[in-house]
Amino acid sequence: MANPSHADARSELTKRTIPFMTLAHGDDDKASVDAQHPAARNSAPGRFSISGNAIVTGGAGAIGMEVARAMLQHGLSGLMILDLAPRDSIQTLREEFPGAKVEARGVDVTDEEQVAHAVAETATLLGSVDSLVCFAGIVGCVHALDMPASQWRRVLDVNTTGTFLCAQAAARQMVAQGTGGRIVLTASISAHRVNFPQPQAAYNVSKAAVVMLKSSLAAEWARYGITVNSVSPGYMDTVLNEGEGLAEARRSWCGRNPLGRMGVPEEVAGVVVMLLSRAGSYVNGADVVVDGGGVVF
């Protein structure tokens, strides 16, 4: 016999309601493009100009730093780098771009309170939060049969939940400002196919989740003038992929790529610049694969 309380709970399901998304108001929002990128009209350089202030998570890494540099080159006024351990390279950016305000804070992206505080502090220091680029992430190569649950949870916590917390906090600030904004998440080719030869199930799942997260947020937040897109880099030739211990894997990665090589961080940076500039104003919910064509196999 069924438990009466369980039966009552099931019957209550027929009385539930769900929230509905609200989409943007179409033509009324075209003016916001000019408001966000006033220097872009009738100007070739302006088409790819970036205005306002941005947060880059994981910005002390090789790719994050190159993207931050490109954003500043294209006109960014203020930059906040959030990383577990911001390095001295931040000072290099300050010296290269004396006209911009460059700040850095140590933040654990899985800590909701730290993230919210960092975004609020950024708005106070720089005046606004207009863009967010999420690069914070970790990878772990281990056979699925040997992976402890703690490692699985940690990878998803940083790569997926951490990305959501940063996007949510930034979007809340953008909504409060009422000026729209741009958010770029970092997925991976690992979101689209299984890597070879290294086993990394947790990482692959975490990045596939980021691709769906991007689409979900793009649908929900367009009403506020916020676009959400992602980039999916392939194998990048950075210090994380160097060393004799990875020599055989590097040969495999390059040998399976139509261009026969790994990418370099500036090849990701150009795509991010496009997504943050006027040129990307009608790009929303997209994932741009930057992998030399490796994903075609």
Residues annotated catalytic, as ranges: 203
Other CB atoms within a 10 A radius of the CB of residue 124 amount to: 9
Helix (H) or strand (E) run with residue 126 in it = helix 112-126
Distance (Å) of CA 205 to CA 20, 188, 194, 268, 295? 28, 10, 10, 22, 16
* Alpha carbons 227 and 275: distance in angstroms, whole number: 9
C-beta of residue 39 within 8 angstroms of C-beta of residue 270: no
Convert 65-89 into a string of H (helix), E (strand) and C (coil).
Answer: HHHHHHHHHCCCCEEEEEECCCCCH
Q: Which tokens go with 112?
A: 């909701």
